[in-house]
Amino acid sequence: MKHIRSISEIGKAGVLAIVERAKQMSEINSRPVPKVPALRGKTVVSLFLEDSTRTRLSFETAAKRLSAETMNFSVSTSSVNKGESLRDTIETISDMGVDAFVVRHKSSGIPWQIEQWTDASIINAGDGAHQHPTQALVDCFTVSEAFGVDSFEGLTISIVGDIRHSRVARSNVEAFAMLGAKVIIVAPSTLLPPDVGHWPVTISNDIDDVIGTTDILYMLRLQSERMDQGLIPNLSEYGNRFGLTEKRVSQLPLNARIMHPGPMNRGVEMQVDPSHLSQSLIHRQVANGVSVRMAVLFTALTLNDDRDHAIQGLSKEAAQ
């Protein structure tokens, strides 16, 4: 798989293979010296044209633990400020010889556009409100680890918040449903996407309807701009109706877990401090981010179709 751009492109078999590979990476991360030479000689560029903390840092850590070279690109100090186009930027970096671009951009579809300008692998680290496939892979791995299952058959996962503007919701709904989970989305009608009728989900407008029967409560961040756009009346009313409060935590089933992709808005969707909650998987999500992104880089850079085609000609000698 040369590019990792959307959950549908990766497919169910691909999601399962990356989650499996991430277990191996997780073991490497637990070693006294958590570094292997698997991607020695490869160069990975982080091209983040939108802000990020955990995604960017976990990709960089992942690349380093696999011994890849990393190049960093920061918009504020680059020629983008002099008006250089994205195409020229990509072509310039490609000319330096890179094997993968890790791209985050505010426009949906950018990873597919970039593919036309470079021979390198493209890893989507978030494109507009479209996809954030590595977050979905991290979350699948985290659920699989917490519940000790590979298939999510029989699990109910409720995703609560601004579904409409969330690339995490789009990727996660697809991935969770692909692995067999029953997915419920919970949001005010103004924050539901227009095409939600085609999604493999059940829709609810009331968190209290789902909280008693959900295995995983997945909270999304509510951006304050949504209030200025008139999509919600005000933050505290949103918080009261859709936020996670002490009372709601107490209504969760015994073995239910809480997830959040970060960054959190404390006092809005998170009215409790999740670090005090035994149900929280939020720290696991961050820790697993490195292992899963190692699996993603490894998959894109060593297990891609071009290479598989090239080695088909080799004799069985290599297989011994």
Partner 1 sequence: MTGPDVHRALSRIAHEIVEKNHGSDDLVIVGLQRGGVWIAEALAAKISQIEPELVVPLGVIDVSMHRDDIDLRPASQVAISHIPCDITDTTVVLVDDVLFTGRTVRAALEGLNSFGRPKCVQLAVLVDRGHRELPIRPDFVGKNLPTKNSDEVLVSVDGVTVTAGEGK
Burial of 9 (0-12, 13-18, 19+ CB in 10 A): middle
Is 241 a known active-site residue? no
Catalytic residue among 56, 65, 132, 164: 132
Q: Is 104 a catalytic residue?
A: yes
Q: Under the criterion CB under 8 A, does residue 210 sit at the interface with partner 1?
A: no
9, 12, 23, 69: which one contacts partner 1 (CB under 8 A)? 23
Q: Does 96 bind partner 1 (CB under 8 A)?
A: no
Shortest approach of partner 1 to residue 175 CB, angstroms? 19
> Which residues inside 66-85 make contact with partner 1, applying CB under 8 A?
66
Between 19 and 103, name the residue whose CB sits nearer to partner 1. 19
Nearest approach in angstroms of CB 36 to partner 1 is 4
CA torsion sign, 42 to 48 to 54 to 57? positive
Least Å distance, CB 65 to partner 1, is 10
Task: Give the per-residue SS3 of the chain.
Answer: CCCECCHHHHHHHHHHHHHHHHHHHHHHHCCCCCCCCCCCCCEEEEEECCCCCHHHHHHHHHHHHCCCEEEEEEHHHCHHHHCCCHHHHHHHHHHCCCCEEEEEECCCCHHHHHHCCCCCEEEEEEECCCECHHHHHHHHHHHHHHHCCCCCCCCEEEEECCCCCCHHHHHHHHHHHHCCCEEEEECCHHHCCCCHHHCCCEEECCHHHHHHHCCEEEECCCCCHHHHCCCCCCHHHHHHHHCECHHHHHHCCCCCEEECCCCCCECCCECCCHHHCCCECHHHHHHHHHHHHHHHHHHHHHCCHHHHHHHCCCCHHHHC
| Residue whose CB is less far from partner 1, 66 or 220 | 66
Is 14 an interacting residue with respect to partner 1 (CB under 8 A)? Answer: no
Among the listed residues 82, 276, 309, 316, the single catalytic one is 82
Nearer to partner 1, 35 or 283 (CB): 35
- Residue ranges in 283-312 that form contacts with partner 1 under rule CB under 8 A: 298, 302-303, 307-308, 311
Of 104, 105, 182, 260, which residue is the catalytic one? 104
Whether residue 132 lies in the annotated active site: yes
Q: Which of 2, 7, 35, 87 binds partner 1 (CB under 8 A)?
A: 35
Among residues 2, 21, 42, 55, which one is catalytic?
55
Q: Which is nearer to partner 1, 12 or 241 (CB)?
A: 12
Please say which residue, 34 or 262, places its beta carbon nearer to partner 1. 34
Which residues are identified as catalytic? 54-55, 82, 104, 132
Interacting residues with partner 1 (CB under 8 A)? 20-21, 23-24, 27-28, 31-38, 66, 298, 302-303, 307-308, 311, 314-320
